A and B are shown apart, each in its own frame.
Chain A
Amino acid sequence: MLKILIPTLMLLPLPWLTPKKWLWPTSLMHSMIIALISLYWLKNSSEEGWTTLNPMMGTDPLSTPLLILTCWLLPLMILASQNHMAPEPLSRQRTYISLLSSLQVFLILAFSATEILMFYIMFEATLIPTLIIITRWGNQKERLNAGTYFLFYTLAGSLPLLVALLLLQNSTGTLSMLITPYNDLTLTTSWSHKLWWAGCMIAFLVKMPLYGVHLWLPKAHVEAPIAGSMILAAVLLKLGGYGMMRIMVTLDPLSKEMLFPFIILALWGVIMTGSICLRQTDLKSLIAYSSVSHMGLVAGGILIQTPWGFTGALILMIAHGLASSALFCLANTNYERTHSRTMLLARGLQMIMPLMASWWFTASLANLALPPLPNLMGEIMIISSLFNWSWFTIILTGAGTLITAGYSLYLFLMTQRGPLPQHITALSPSHTREHLLMALHLLPLIMIIAKPALVSGWFA
């Protein structure tokens, strides 16, 4: 574990000591080396137990895919930020890279924490660098409101979580994740137990986000610069899912009574946010609402608490992380050229950037869960486990799948196909850096098809 953590900590002073010419290449190279070393975590020594265990941190098949996704994403963020940071003064570029690295440190500590309170502190700690990335380097004045919504929605959910965790610690004496699955809490349906249950869950539901408390997400994703959008979509939402999976093992059997409204809200959110996507004019906003839609499905899978549900949720989290981040990078290629997120202004791009159109195509197919991509695997497993619980849900999930396909197609056709408008015939062609970025997003996604057991969590 320290093999990865200490190099990542060293990434913090790295930008400050590198000469200007080599700033971006060295940051990229070092973060990429760390990402490649992190792949050794894929070898989990036991099916359900903990690997690389030490008194504070450990990895298990649930956290490993998320950790590798986090480590993989840092070089991609650095690659994506290179262009829009170029006009800034040198010290601000260095601050930016340090900020991304500090976020990375907190995320690694969060996913590898074995004590739930450590996870909580790191979960909250990720808020500060993300807040600074959104509000300092966002591009429109709405970013301040976005940062406020982001911070306060998350904190309003997580402060009751802190109280609930402290109550759990008082009653069981420990908050270690190695022990909490074996807790015997004998929860009843009394008000206090129900409130405690809600306190445990709401923080993660807000983070996921669940439809109903999702309002922070479109604001934050849209106003953030590309690195912020990438890390938000790919990893920070998954913190909510991961936390929920960890805490749910202690919450039985009360969950059976408490879960109904949340599952319904999640599934209804899939349809509602999908429908909103069909009517969006703002490209990043469309991708943000599509994130809410996919994470609604993930929430449904986790809340249903079956092996297929958990497996599907984890696979969909990893697949959605890569696909959504890829879409944001593609949207950013448009934004850097036209400085506008309006889809109508940058359409028919297949004419001038055909290779980028193939990336748009693959990313849109990933978004709509085309087989054999892991997006589909995750969705099918979640939909099946929900169907097993109640056949009504197929109406919601089936309609949701249909709408997802609808807006993904809309996204692709709008940006790529159709006539090229006169005003953008002079856009600069794609950079190799952008192609590299897209390849690094989508090739791992395609490679997971070969061995989905890597990202399937406990029940591989």
Chain B
Amino acid sequence: MNPLVLSLLILSLGLGTTLTFASSHWLLAWMGLEINTLAIIPLMAQHHHPRAVEATTKYFLTQATAAALILFASMTNAWITGQWGIQQMDQTIPTTMLTIALMLKLGLAPAHFWLPEVLQGLDLTTGLIMSTWQKLAPLALLVQIPNLNSNLLIFIGLISTMVGGWGGLNQTQLRKVMAYSSIAHLGWMILIVSFNSKLTLLALSMYILMTTSMFLTLKINNSLDMNTLATSWAKTPILTALTPLILLSLGGLPPLSGFMPKWLILQELTKQELPLTATIAALSALLSLYFYLRLSYAMALTTSPNTTINTAPWRLKTNQNSIPLSTSIALTAMLLPMTPTILAI
């Protein structure tokens, strides 16, 4: 893509999210979301491949619907209360509508159906942006709303963790696996937002870290499905040895960093007298762990000198800068001892 156009689109992407972060008026927040959507559409369709264009169309339709719902909900609140403040939205009907709109925007169950198909149509870099950057603005709005309906949010959260777990079990395409992983992690974030929104932001930051590591790893290996992943031992042996750590961190196993948000969320849920919810959420994380484990089996734990399911790939030198990946892997694996620091924030 023309570098000028690319920089314009990336800057617009940043502008949109920043606008939503900085706003206290619903209209401005909605504008930021729309700028975000508009900026990423050309990025998604840049390869002009029919599959990419299909993904772009599906994304546009869902995001436009969600944005329209947000506008409608905030307008309803403005009709009732006469003001457009984000943190002063305390009517139940607009709040519920807004929650559902943000559910659609983020890709939470039961409005998650678009996410795997959209992610599958994207290349890995755009997929990374979709999974990480695009979640920031809607979640920033969600944590600011007062008086969220905790029953609805717990329902959405539990359903998302379970859908994310069960949905990913039958996938071999890695982008779809990452989509279901996104649904599951967002479910964990939503579970806790009505009780302690700081933990939502912590879970979001840990999720962004782990997903970045995973996508960058896939990019270096240039692998889009599990079979290609199985040949990565020949291309990048050290990265192959480290990827199980990323995957198990995504699964939330101690002593890796991915355990931190799960632990703190379970702690908050038990403090709120919801131990059954906590147990169900914890056990549904085991579903996701199964497919992460299967990926690490395929990639690193079953290498042998002479069995590849795929044809041997060209071992080309990559231009990709490895510093972001090495930093993010180090953080993905070793941040758990920082938990007391996080708790103090």
**Which of A120, A128, A163 contacts B275, CB < 8 Å?**
A163
Asked if residues A159 and B279 are in contact (CB atoms below 8 Å), the reply is: yes
Query: Is B267 on the interface with A (CB-CB < 8 A)?
Result: yes
Query: Is B129 on the interface with A (CB-CB < 8 A)?
Result: no
Query: Is B290 on the interface with A (CB-CB < 8 A)?
Result: yes
* Complex contacts, B256 vs chain A, CB 8 Å: 128
* Complex contacts, A91 vs chain B, CB 8 Å: 237
Q: Is the interface of A mostly helix, strand, loop or mixed?
A: helix
Give the CA-CA distance A163 to B278 in the complex, in Å.
7
Asked if residues B301 and A121 are in contact (CB atoms below 8 Å), the reply is: no
Give the CA-CA distance A196 to B297 in the complex, in Å.
34
Interface centre among A95, A120, A135 (most CB of B within 10 A): A135
Which 5 A-B residue pairs are closest in the complex by CB-CB distance? A159-B282, A125-B255, A166-B270, A124-B254, A135-B301
* Complex contacts, B275 vs chain A, CB 8 Å: 163, 167, 196
Query: Is B15 on the interface with A (CB-CB < 8 A)?
Result: no
Q: How large is the interface on B (under 10, 10 to 19, 20 to 34, 35 or more residues)?
A: 20 to 34
Interface centre among A132, A156, A159 (most CB of B within 10 A): A159
Asked if residues B279 and A163 are in contact (CB atoms below 8 Å), the reply is: yes
Query: Is A275 on the interface with B (CB-CB < 8 A)?
Result: no
Write 5 A-B pairs (CB below 8 A) sorted by A numbering: A95-B241, A125-B255, A147-B301, A163-B275, A166-B271
A201 to chain B, nearest CB (A): 15
Asked if residues B290 and A148 are in contact (CB atoms below 8 Å), the reply is: yes
A110 to chain B, nearest CB (A): 11
Given contacts A135-B297, A147-B293, A151-B289, 18 further A-B contacts (CB under 8 A): A91-B237, A121-B254, A121-B259, A124-B255, A128-B253, A136-B301, A144-B297, A144-B302, A147-B301, A148-B290, A159-B282, A162-B282, A163-B275, A166-B266, A166-B270, A167-B275, A170-B270, A196-B275
* Complex contacts, A170 vs chain B, CB 8 Å: 270-271
Query: Is B325 on the interface with A (CB-CB < 8 A)?
Result: no
Q: Mark B255-270, 1 if CB is under 8 A from A, else 0.
A: 1100100010011001
B188 to chain A, nearest CB (A): 13
Give the CA-CA distance A196 to B289 in the complex, in Å.
25
Asked if residues A128 and B248 are in contact (CB atoms below 8 Å), the reply is: yes
User: Which residue from chain B places its CB closest to the CB of A171 in the assembled complex?
Assistant: B270
Asked if residues A106 and B255 are in contact (CB atoms below 8 Å), the reply is: yes
* Complex contacts, B297 vs chain A, CB 8 Å: 135, 144, 147
Q: Mark A153-170, 1 if CB is under 8 A from B, else 0.
A: 001100110110011011
Query: Is A127 on the interface with B (CB-CB < 8 A)?
Result: yes
Interface centre among A127, A163, A167 (most CB of B within 10 A): A163
**Which of B237, B244, B254 contacts A132, CB < 8 Å?**
B244
**B226-252: which residues lie under 8 A (CB-CB) from chain A?**
237, 241, 244, 248
Give the CA-CA distance A270 to B271 in the complex, in Å.
40
**A56-115: which residues lie under 8 A (CB-CB) from chain B?**
91, 95, 106
**Which of A121, A147, A163, A167 contacts B255, CB < 8 Å?**
A121
Please count the residue pairs between chain A and chain B whose beta carbons lie under 8 angstroms apart in the complex: 76
Asked if residues A162 and B302 are in contact (CB atoms below 8 Å), the reply is: no
Whether A125 touches B254, Cβ cut-off 8 Å, given contacts A132-B301, A166-B267, A170-B271, is yes
Give the CA-CA distance A106 to B255 in the complex, in Å.
9
* Complex contacts, B283 vs chain A, CB 8 Å: 156, 159-160
User: Which residue from chain A places its CB closest to the CB of B303 in the assembled complex?
Assistant: A136
Give the CA-CA distance A95 to B300 in the complex, in Å.
13
Asked if residues B286 and A156 are in contact (CB atoms below 8 Å), the reply is: yes
* Complex contacts, A144 vs chain B, CB 8 Å: 297, 301-302
Query: Is A260 on the interface with B (CB-CB < 8 A)?
Result: no
Give the CA-CA distance A109 to B271 in the complex, in Å.
27
Query: Is A389 on the interface with B (CB-CB < 8 A)?
Result: no
A213 to chain B, nearest CB (A): 15
Give the CA-CA distance A156 to B283 in the complex, in Å.
7
**Which of A128, A132, A151, A167 contacts B270, CB < 8 Å?**
A167
Asked if residues B286 and A135 are in contact (CB atoms below 8 Å), the reply is: no
Asked if residues A160 and B254 are in contact (CB atoms below 8 Å), the reply is: no
Q: Mark B276-304, 1 if CB is under 8 A from A, else 0.
A: 00110011011001100100010011100
* Complex contacts, A152 vs chain B, CB 8 Å: 286, 289-290
Whether A148 touches B286, Cβ cut-off 8 Å, given contacts A121-B255, A124-B253, A163-B266, is no
Asked if residues B263 and A162 are in contact (CB atoms below 8 Å), the reply is: yes
* Complex contacts, A120 vs chain B, CB 8 Å: 254
**Which of A122, A125, A136 contacts B300, CB < 8 Å?**
A136
Give the CA-CA distance A194 to B130 in the complex, in Å.
45
* Complex contacts, B237 vs chain A, CB 8 Å: 91
* Complex contacts, A147 vs chain B, CB 8 Å: 293, 297, 301
* Complex contacts, B282 vs chain A, CB 8 Å: 159-160, 162-163
B345 to chain A, nearest CB (A): 20
Give the CA-CA distance A95 to B242 in the complex, in Å.
12
User: Which residue from chain A places its CB closest to the CB of B286 in the assembled complex?
Assistant: A155
Q: Mark A27-58, 1 if CB is under 8 A from B, else 0.
A: 00000000000000000000000000000000
